[in-house]
Structure 1
Amino acid sequence: MPDADAELVSYSLVQADQRGIYSHGLLRLPLYAEALRMGGINPVPSMDWREDSGSVAVLDADAALGQVAMQAAVDYVLERGAQSGIAAVAVTNSSHYGAGGFWSDQLSAAGFLSIVTSTTGPVVAPHGGLEKVLGTNPLTLGAPSSGDWPLTADLATSNGAYGKLIAARNEGKELPEGWAVDADGNPTTDPAAAAEGAMIPFGGHKGSAISALIEAFSASISDATYAFETIDIWSHPASRMNNGHLVIGLNTAAVSDRRRTEARVSTLQERIRGSGPNGRTVFSPGDPERIHEEQNADHVPLPSSTADQLVTLANQLGFEPIRPVSTHHLSSERT
């Protein structure tokens, strides 16, 4: 891969682990490496802009890593949104783009309200169904703030991210109740049985509806595939997943005073934090991840199974052998 692309993807994965989002961090690196080796992900894509109207465009990512495609999409939205006030990019022919907050953060830093969506592989049964029709279909919403960090909601529309199922399987742990069903539709906490069955949407029929609309937002206006049309690289690393993403950015400076908007968002954050009983702090959306990141500024905490996989991967690729560490952490220098 080009150095700049490799650095971008590496940074996004390390930041996810620093924020405690282990399902989207270095857990994914062996999968990315295998998909790059097998052809499911293109290391040197020739991305192509289509249907560019000046503030809305479609980007054919040529099977790039999702982070590479999304950075181009976010850069477009920032540039064109500064001129027109609002901009959007639909991405097609892409792959997993990491944690959604990585993208909304960039837009928030420039004073944009943002919506980011994506399709994924087929792992979720619609409410009342049994077949894997939907993906985990992440939704990220971001708002700029004059506080320490933006107001951010970054969530899968399934009860848990699929990467958390993989992490539970690797760690030999059970899933929380209510996350999945087995192949016969019975509730299960066994990640292996859940992989054969399906994950379920959060919030019953309401979450299922949101997940379905994210499929439409992310894939209906481009050539991207829906989840049920997709072969996931988790199952077949040579698969060109053709994920679809959508990023929309509204430049607050175009419709209001940016500083006023940011101050208003900060007021909302502080009101949420101060709403607990007996002075107990309540987290505003995005707070737990940012607090984790500050605490982990000089190291990358990793589950032991992920650390072991990185040791194996390094050895397979011919790097100097890395001895397994005895603690729960790997230093950022070593990573």
Structure 2
Amino acid sequence: MNTQQLFPQRDLVRFAAQALAARGVPREDADLTARSLVQADQRGIYSHGLLRLPLYCEALRLGGINPAPKLKFSKDQGSVAVLDADAALGQVAMQAAVDRVIRVGREQGIAAVAVHNSSHYGAGAFWSDQLAEAGFLSFITSSTGPVVAPHGGTSKVLGTNPLTLGVPSASGWPLTADLATSNGAYGKVIAAKNEGTQLPEGWAVDADGNPTTDPVEAEKGSMIPFGGHKGSAVAVLLEAFAASLTDATFAFETVDIWSNPASRMNNGHLVIGLDTAAFAGSEKTASRVAALQDRVRSSGPGGQPVDAPGDPERRRQEEAAQAVPLPPSTVSQLAALAEELSLSPLETHSAP
């Protein structure tokens, strides 16, 4: 996107936190959520970045998201817990879940938290990175709103059901896979609609089941699972992992806040962490993972470099450490939000 504008990273975090605080979110929770969104934009994952801030603010205003929830661990049995998030911002619920997984996992070697009554938690790598930093191998997934038709179907039964896997590495970057089980994240459909661009072929079908690259028609129709019947099977199983352990709703039972910001989505999340220190040892695991990353990176023809999972996003984050590029439609939405909430407008980055 050559027309992107650059903004200071700290200004974006401050603006997002102020916007959330204006909707009643406590400062610490607002800052956490702001950092999650801005980091996604730094990594080029615009579908999970500040594009979502106006939606969060509207859902907070209308009651779809509870700004000051009372989180409660309704079950807490050894290495396993269930968290009732009280319609919290997903980031707030996930931070509580990740903190418990790290604390209990260090005692037990493994810990899992199933969350219900939550909302969108942003990019999954924001959470797997924390677990990797603590020496944990992680598995994270979530239910979402209904946007995906199973392989062979035409109705919206599934969510984009993200899957995030992370392992610590001595290379400095964890080995990370963070992906939707649809061919593209639903936020990318919204971004394409906002930008007036088309979707890649093979991402969606219209309401009649015909392939489409029009994001407006894709909204009316359905997203397609990645990998044909195999990807569809993974998506269905992740739906079960994310929602069947608690009272969370399946996607086909959910009204997405994209459709109605007053909807309490009751998303389910599942976080599982294995403390690598309890197995081969944290240093040995990190060293072996680094060797695997290096082998992948050197596997190109004629010694040409190849990206290991997570490498492109990390590079983009390093490049955007100070100045973060944003798509024009997101810039316009943030300007409108600033006016609505009487916040100081963002100023573009000025090189030193």
1:279 to 276, 288, 303: 303
1:145 to 147, 153, 169: 169
Amino acid at match of 1:229: E
Indicate if the aligned counterparts of 1:18 and 1:301 stay in contact, CA closer than 8 A.
yes
1:7 to 25, 31, 44: 31
Partner of 1:311: 335
CA distance in 2, matches of 1:181, 1:11: 34
Partner of 1:289: 313
Asked whether 1:77 is paired with 2:123, we answer: no
1:238 to 234, 245, 262: 262
The CA deviation string for residues 82-135 of structure 1, in whole angstroms up to 9 with x for no partner, is 000000000000000000000000011111110000000000000000000000
Partner of 2:211: 187
Asked whether 1:164 is paired with 2:191, we answer: no
Instruction: Provide the secondary structure at the position in 2 that maps to 1:320.
Output: coil
Partner of 1:43: 67
Instruction: Provide the secondary structure at the position in 2 that maps to 1:310.
Output: helix
Q: How many residues align?
A: 327
Q: Which runs of 5+ in 1 are unaligned?
A: none
Indicate if the aligned counterparts of 1:298 and 1:332 stay in contact, CA closer than 8 A.
no
The list of structure 1 runs, each at least 4 consecutive aligned residues, that deviate by more than 2 angstroms after superposition, is 330-333
Indicate if the aligned counterparts of 1:85 and 1:250 stay in contact, CA closer than 8 A.
yes
Asked whether 1:211 is paired with 2:222, we answer: no
Displacement of 1:218 in angstroms is 0.5
TM-score, scaled relative to structure 1: 0.96
Amino acid at match of 2:111: A
Asked whether 1:88 is paired with 2:74, we answer: no
Partner of 2:14: none
CA distance in 2, matches of 1:257, 1:183: 52
1:175 and 1:284, CA in 2 relative to 1: closer, same or farther beyond 3 A?
Answer: same
Displacement of 1:51 in angstroms is 1.6
Amino acid at match of 2:41: D
Amino acid at match of 2:127: W
The CA deviation string for residues 188-217 of structure 1, in whole angstroms up to 9 with x for no partner, is 000000000000000000110000001100
Displacement of 1:278 in angstroms is 2.1
Displacement of 1:300 in angstroms is 1.3
Asked whether 1:104 is paired with 2:128, we answer: yes
TM-score, scaled relative to structure 2: 0.92
1:259 to 280, 283, 287: 283
Displacement of 1:247 in angstroms is 0.2
Partner of 2:145: 121
Q: Which has the higher contact order (CA 8 A, sep 6+)?
A: 2
CA distance in 1, matches of 2:276, 2:350: 36
Amino acid at match of 1:270: D
CA distance in 2, matches of 1:199, 1:192: 12
Indicate if the aligned counterparts of 1:96 and 1:243 stay in contact, CA closer than 8 A.
yes
Displacement of 1:332 in angstroms is 10
Amino acid at match of 2:222: A
CA distance in 1, matches of 2:304, 2:195: 33
1:27-66 aligned at under 5 Å gives the runs 27-66=51-90
1:321 and 1:302, CA in 2 relative to 1: closer, same or farther beyond 3 A?
Answer: closer
The CA deviation string for residues 286-329 of structure 1, in whole angstroms up to 9 with x for no partner, is 0000000000000111001001100010001112355xx7xxxx
CA distance in 2, matches of 1:209, 1:57: 27
CA distance in 1, matches of 2:350, 2:249: 36
Displacement of 1:256 in angstroms is 1.5
CA distance in 1, matches of 2:239, 2:324: 33
Q: Which runs of 5+ in 2 are unaligned?
A: 1-24
Amino acid at match of 1:148: G
